[in-house]
Structure 1
Amino acid sequence: MQESSDHPATPRQRATAYGVHVLTASGILPASLAMHEIIQPDCDQRRVFVWLLLTTFIDAIDGPLARRFRVKTLAQSIDGRTIDDLLDYLTFAFIPLMLVWRMNWLPAGLGFTVAIAMGASLFGFAHQNAKDESNGFFRGFPSYWNVAAFYAGLLHHWWGPWPVAIMIWLLAVLTVTPIWLIYPNLAPAKHRTWLLSGAGIWALLLVAMLPLYPHPPAWMVLVSLVYPILYSAASYGLWRNRTSKAKESADPQASSRKHSAAS
C-alpha cells in the first residue's frame, strides 16, 4: 500500500516501522548465546534449544508485524527481508547443524557432513522461488534444521549415529527438491488457524520434553510427531489442489470434460 500524499506517515508510525526491523535484528542476541553455548567444553544442548526457540519466536512474529505496520512502505531504507534471511540461515541452519556436529550425533569421522546440509540450505535460501508467498508455500524442505537437530538428539540416544546421518542427508536432498510445504502464516484462512495453533501446541510439547532431554518418555516423542505428519499431509493436499486448479484454469475444456464425466 502506497502512502497518500494527503496523509503522510507520522514520525511515530515511521519509528514503529523501523522498530520492527530492530525486533527482527534482535534475533542475533539469542543466536549468539546459542553459539556461545555450543563452544563450551560442557555444552548443554538444552540451553542451545532454548535460545533457538527464542529466535524462532521472534521470526514467527516479525513478519505479521511488518505487514501490520507497513514496514516496506514506511521503513523502506532497510531491507527487512535481507535481515530475516541472514538470521534464518544462521538460526535455522548453521547453528543447529553445528550443534549436531558438536554433540557427536553423527558417525565418527562424518561430523563434517553437516556441511552438505548447510550447502543445501544455501541453495534453498537463494532459490528465486524459495517462497511462493502469493499461494503460501515453501519450496523444498524449508531448512527447519533446529527441529531436525532436536529429533537428531533423540535418535542418537535410542538408535545411535547412523539414523541421524540418514535423516540429515535425506533432508538435505529434500531441501533442494521441488516439493512444496505450506507456509503457516500465509496458509488459506480455513487452514491457518489449525496450522498455527497446532504449531504452538507442538512447540509447547517440545519445550516440555527439554528438562528430560535427550530421554523424555517415548509417548511424548510419538505425540510430538503427530503435528509434523499432519503438516506434511496438509501441504501435499493443498499443493495438489492448487496444481489441479491451475491446470483447469489453463485448460477450461479439460475442466468441462471432467464435470461432464462426473455427471
Structure 2
Amino acid sequence: MTASGAFWAFMALIAAGEGRWVAMFLWLGFALFVDGIDGPLARRLDVGRRLPHWSGDTLDAVIDYATYVLIPAYALYEAGIIEGPLAFVAAALIVVTSAVYYADTRMKTKDNFFRGFPVTWNMVVFALFATQPGSTAALLVVVFCAITTFAPLKFLHPVRVERLRPINLAVFALWSVLGLVSLASAFAPSPIVTAGIVVTSLYLLLVGVVLQALDRLTDRNEGERI
C-alpha cells in the first residue's frame, strides 16, 4: 500500500506536466489519504516484526518526498503563482530544506508534534492555488515555512497529537471539504470558501506554535510563583 504512493506520484507528475492542476491535486490528495492509513494498518498488522528486513519508514520517506515536496514545488514554479526568477528561488528553498529535514532524526517530539515545519508543501501549495494571495504574499509564506523547518517550534500532526484532537480533526476535515469545493470550482471558489481555507490553513499551521508559547508562558508564571 505504501509503495503504491509512487504510482500516485507518477500520475500527479503527468498531470502537472500537462498543466492539469486539479487532476494533479486529486492524485496528491489520494496519495495523502493512503499515507494517512498505511501507518496505522502497518502497526495493527505488526509489519515490522513480520517483514524485519524491509523498512517502512524509509519507503514512506521516499514516497513522501515526491508527493509532499518535489511535485508541489514544480507546480508552484510552473503555475507562476510566484512571478519571475523568485519562483525558481522559492522552488529551490522548498526542495533543499525539505531534503535536509528528512535527514533530521529529531523531527518528532515526545507528544507527537513535529519539530519544525514538517515540509507538508502539498498542503501549503494547494492553499496558495486555492486562495491566490499574490506573488509577494506567496513568497513570504514559502520563506516562513522554509525558515521554520529548522526552528525548535511545534507543528501539528492532526491525527497523532492527543491535545485538542477533536478540534484538530474537525478543522482538518473542514479544510479537506473546502479543498474539494475549491477543486470542483477549478480553483475559482467563492469568497466564503477562500476565507475558510485561509482560516483553517492558518490554524493547522500555527496551532502547535501557539500551544508551545502558552505552555512556556504557563511554566514561567508557575516558576515565578515558586
Structure 1 length normalisation: TM-score?
Answer: 0.77
- How many Å apart are 1:29 and its aligned residue? 1.2
| AA in 1 matched with 2:164 | H
**1:231 has 2:204 as partner:** yes
Matches within 5 A, 1:7-156: 23-40=1-18, 43-113=19-89, 114-132=91-109, 134-156=110-132
User: Contact 1:129–1:139 at 8 Å: present in 2 too?
Assistant: yes
Q: Could you tell me which residue of structure 2 aligns to residue 201 of structure 1?
A: 174
Q: 2:192 aligns with which of 219, 227, 236?
A: 219
Q: Which has the higher contact order (CA 8 A, sep 6+)?
A: 2
- How many Å apart are 1:176 and its aligned residue? 2.0
- How many Å apart are 1:242 and its aligned residue? 6.1
The superposition leaves residues 110-130 of structure 1 with CA deviations (integer Å, 9 ceiling, x where unpaired) of 332111111111111211211
- Give secondary structure in 2 for the equivalent of 1:86: helix
Structure 1 distance, partners of 2:82, 2:60, is: 29
Q: 1:191 to 1:55 in 2, by over 3 A?
A: same
Q: 1:136 to 1:150 in 2, by over 3 A?
A: same
Q: Could you tell me which residue of structure 1 aligns to residue 157 of structure 2?
A: 183
- How many Å apart are 1:87 and its aligned residue? 1.0
The superposition leaves residues 119-175 of structure 1 with CA deviations (integer Å, 9 ceiling, x where unpaired) of 11111121121122x31110111111111111222454x63x222222222221122
The superposition leaves residues 35-54 of structure 1 with CA deviations (integer Å, 9 ceiling, x where unpaired) of 011222xx111111101100
Q: 1:168 to 1:238 in 2, by over 3 A?
A: closer
Task: Return 5+ residue gaps in structure 1 as ranges.
Answer: 1-22, 249-253
User: Contact 2:12–2:28 at 8 Å: present in 1 too?
Assistant: yes
Q: 1:135 to 1:91 in 2, by over 3 A?
A: same
Structure 2 length normalisation: TM-score?
Answer: 0.88
Structure 2 distance, partners of 1:84, 1:78, is: 11
- Give secondary structure in 2 for the equivalent of 1:131: coil
Q: 1:257 to 1:222 in 2, by over 3 A?
A: closer
- Identity across aligned pairs (percent)? 24
Which deviates more from structure 2 when the two are superposed, residues 192-201 or residues 224-233? 224-233
Structure 2 distance, partners of 1:144, 1:180, is: 14
Structure 2 distance, partners of 1:116, 1:233, is: 20
Bigger Rg, which one? 1
Q: Could you tell me which residue of structure 2 aligns to residue 169 of structure 1?
A: 143
| CA RMSD between the two structures | 2.4
| AA in 2 matched with 1:32 | F
| AA in 2 matched with 1:184 | P
User: Contact 1:136–1:184 at 8 Å: present in 2 too?
Assistant: no
Paired residues, what number? 225
- How many Å apart are 1:232 and its aligned residue? 4.3
Structure 2 distance, partners of 1:155, 1:69, is: 40
- Deviating 4+ runs (over 4 angstroms): 240-245, 254-257
| AA in 2 matched with 1:30 | W
- How many Å apart are 1:212 and its aligned residue? 1.7
Which deviates more from structure 2 when the two are superposed, residues 107-116 or residues 234-243? 234-243
- Give secondary structure in 1 for the equivalent of 2:212: helix
